[in-house]
Amino acid sequence: MELTPEQRKVIYLEEKAKRENEPESSSIELLIVFNIIAAIALYGVFSLGKNPHKTKLTLEAIRRAYSGLAPDEVK
């Protein structure tokens, strides 16, 4: 089936118009992935801010961490 140059031009212009009206799927996919990553990061930041890890520093904890110290050297 042989197409004339006029038919080729018409087909080309129709396809070009279709592609110009459609957004690129790869850019939309990247935007979705970026938003998901940003949401996870924000959730992590806010959850860490609400629950700070507080530990009491006691002599008993120091003795367990540094077993080489004698009890009389800590005082």
Cα separation, 7 vs 9, in Å, equals: 5
- State residue 37's pLDDT score: 96
**Torsion angle of the four alpha carbons 8, 9, 12, 14, in this order, in degrees rounded to the nearest 10:** -110
- Which range marks the domain in which residue 66 is found? 5-74
Rounded mean pLDDT of 6-20?
A: 90
- State residue 39's pLDDT score: 96
Contact 11, 3 (CB under 8 A): yes
* Residue-wise DSSP of 27-69: HHHHHHHHHHHHHHHHHHHHHHHHS-------HHHHHHH-TTS
pLDDT higher than 90, residue 28: no
- State residue 19's pLDDT score: 82
Number of domains in the chain: 1
Higher pLDDT, 75 or 13: 13
Confidence of residue 6 (pLDDT cuts 50, 70, 90): very high
